[in-house]
Structure 1
Amino acid sequence: MRALAKLEQVLPSRLRHRVAALSSATVPLPVGGPSVGADVLTAIAATVRDHERLRFDYVGHDGGSSRREVEPHRLVNRGRRWYLVAWDVDRSDWRTFRVDRMTPTIPTGPRFAPREAPSGDVAGFVARGLDYALWSCRASLRLHASADAVAQRLPASIVVEPGDEHTCVVHTGADSYEMIAVHLAMLDVDFDVLDPPEFADHLRRTAARYLRAADTATSA
């Protein structure tokens, strides 16, 4: 980001506003990855600045390609990898896109009224999404405790959605269902499994094992 500031100082006035747009449209987030062409970054940053819809071809992590139309909100830098946080028009939800997988199309779309940022923290939104994507096993759970109480006992990478004053929904993950179960046990809170069924099956097997152990201790 310091490089952008230095570049802006030496550019002619006709180009300076483009770099200023890129600087104002980005949020730094520490760590590494592949570089992205400056022309792509400045084109996306201009749509963020001007509140114009952006259309692009996108290659997903599975190699599949799709055409997307979004309301771009902010560019986030994590080391050498760039991400675009945007409202996906077709999916009616916030999404994070890797810029190195995007091929913007011209012209840009119509102007739009900016929406409130997801969670009020764009960098945190991206970080949580990246951490969630790295987990081999994931689970969504309804915990019978308030969101505030639960959030204080969980790392920031785990998403906690408020329910009523006595419940919340947690989206979490780990390298195995065993580790998710261990973390839940440490919370000492009643919960319901919302998804996936495989995690519920794992809990049934674990519960049966513990019950057998308890019965053995009783009979002894």
Structure 2
Amino acid sequence: MDGEGAGRRRPPLRASLETGRLVAPAVNPALLAGLAEAIDDREVVRFDYSDRRGEESRRRVEPHRQIHLLLRWYLLGWDLDRDDWQVFRLDRVRDLVRTGVRHALRDLPADAALAYLRQGLNADRRRVRLVVRARPDRVADALKFEDAEIHPGPGERETRVTVWLDSWERLVLGLAHLDADFSVLEPEDFRGACAAFARRLLAASGHPEPPST
């Protein structure tokens, strides 16, 4: 190695870090960069898109915002053929083409692109409201992979949580590992699901009834 190469050092931040790997849908950095430039230039793009049913289509879109939420990348854009706002999963986008055609700036369909994305994602989810008897930072760590709003609760060391769920079982497991008491405010059927889950755990432990304290 020559003297010049031997003298090079990595930046201290990069040299000091090791990171773990999280499994998430892969998105090509070139796609993110191309869309970022198209958004900045207000340029219409074309791409092939596969929806959640696996159906393929060719789309012409005015791109407005890229959004990162819960380990996934999305594009909010105006679909020229459908004459409406659409949200696209970027791991389902292929063969991006920048057309060179400019478009006018549009008002977003919500206060922020993230708010609009959440409206669509939560349409098929259940909202659950809880009070957890733990500090907000502990609750946030236990629910870091959930789409949750977390606020200090009415009492000391209490946290109010609103979370939108595909599966209530995953939420119960996260809260169980937190090792803190919690109360379900709504919905009523989630309380029943928790009770049924508790009975299964008690049966598995050989104690069909809660142990006396």
- TM-score normalised to structure 1 length: 0.45
TM-score when scaled to structure 2?
0.46
Q: Which has the higher helix share?
A: 1
Higher strand share: 2
